[in-house]
Amino acid sequence: VIVCNTIESFREARQHLGPLAFVPTMGALHAGHMSLVKIAQSHAPTVAVSIFVNPTQFGPKEDFSRYPRPVEADLALCEAAGVQLVFHPDLDQMYPADAARLQSDLPALTRTLEGASRPTHFQGVIEVVTKLFNIVQPQTACFGEKDFQQLAVIRAMTRAMNMPVEIVACPTLRDPDGLAMSSRNRYLSPDERLRALCISRALFEVQKRAAADRNVASLDSILRERLDDPSSDVPFVLDYAVIVDASTLAPIDRIDRPARALVAAKVGSTRLIDNVALGD
Ligand code: PAF
């Protein structure tokens, strides 16, 4: 694997290569990321991965400084998976101190759900993914469905700005007990991990019921009921548990179109998100 720490060296390496599929990451790679790499490999002969913990998508009270950065292990995983190019820039490459910042937004998609409690998060994601697309010049880019709102925002961004990049949605990878894989799972204590399992269990139950019951109010109450566990003393603070239209992320009353059930909760001090598809 060729590892480039500067935009110039990446561009130099990239210019000799043809169509490229891209997996943007913040590192701390796990099997979920590697499944994105595998999907990327089925889309283009060359795959590039970026590893960059992007400060602009973290709020002031979020975990930017403690976000895991196991770079050697990440590079070994990329090498073993047959990734050809890794872009691993430092902060100054991506955000030079003397460069003005161009910030854009897609208010129809970024104000709700994650955006309600993380008001500048998606502007940061839009900013860094635009930069990465301009540097990497991919034909295809793979994003996990676990960050479902991010996927919707990126799709809308490429469409709104006519970016010539095909966005591929990749299914969420789960541990055998159902917990959605996430770099943040490593923060969970064994008790917190056990409590966190109610998130995927609640979502799967609602997914199963939605096959027969199309009424969102009743599915909503099942979702909330299953997330509650009065017998546990692990701090669990629900941020949202909603059922929305899968493309607009707007609330719906009936499952009469592709829909999504999404949950975000803080388990101990770790914020987790997960979601499942409902309807056809
Ligand atoms: O999903 C992520 O890991 C990040 O939000 C991304 C897309 C790499 C942008 O920093």
pLDDT tens, residue order, the chain (280 aa): 999 999 999 999 999 899 999 999 999 999 999 999 999 999 999 999 999 999 999 999 998 999 999 999 999 999 999 999 999 999 999 999 999 999 999 999 999 999 999 999 999 999 999 999 999 999 999 999 999 999 999 999 999 999 999 999 999 999 999 999 999 999 999 999 999 999 999 999 999 999 999 999 999 999 999 999 999 999 999 999 999 999 999 999 999 999 999 999 999 999 999 999 998 6
Cα of 214 vs centre of ligand 1, distance in Å, is: 33
pLDDT score, position 104: 96
Q: Which segments of 29-105 does DSSP mark as H helices, in order?
A: 31-41, 71-81, 91-94
Alpha-carbon distance of 265 to 273, in angstroms, equals: 7
16 C-beta neighbours (distance < 10 Å), count: 7
92 C-beta neighbours (distance < 10 Å), count: 11
What atom of ligand 1 comes closest to residue 154's alpha carbon?
A: 7
Q: What residues flank ligand 1, with Cβ below 6 Å?
A: 24-26, 54, 57, 125, 128-129, 147, 150
Rounding to the nearest 10 degrees, give the CA dihedral for residues 204, 184, 120, 129.
-90
31 φ/ψ angles, rounded to the nearest 5 degrees: -55, -30
pLDDT score, position 63: 87
CA distances from 261 to 90, 239, 253, 256 (A): 36, 14, 13, 14
Q: Specify whether the backbone of 13 is left (phi greater than 0), alpha (psi in -120 to 50) or beta.
A: alpha
Three-state secondary structure call for residue 68: coil
Cα of 25 vs centre of ligand 1, distance in Å, is: 5
DSSP 87: E
Alpha-carbon distance of 66 to 90, in angstroms, equals: 16
Closest by CA to 4, choosing from 87, 78, 71, is 87
pLDDT score, position 279: 85
CA distances from 8 to 14, 89, 125, 177, 247 (A): 10, 11, 22, 44, 37
Cα of 20 vs centre of ligand 1, distance in Å, is: 18
Atom 2 of ligand 1 has which residue's CA nearest to it? 25
Catalytic residue at 33? yes
What atom of ligand 1 comes closest to residue 125's alpha carbon?
A: 9
| pTM listed for this prediction | 0.96
230 C-beta neighbours (distance < 10 Å), count: 5
∠ CA 189-195-196, nearest 5°, is 85
Alpha-carbon distance of 219 to 207, in angstroms, equals: 9
Atom 6 of ligand 1 has which residue's CA nearest to it? 25
Cα of 24 vs centre of ligand 1, distance in Å, is: 6
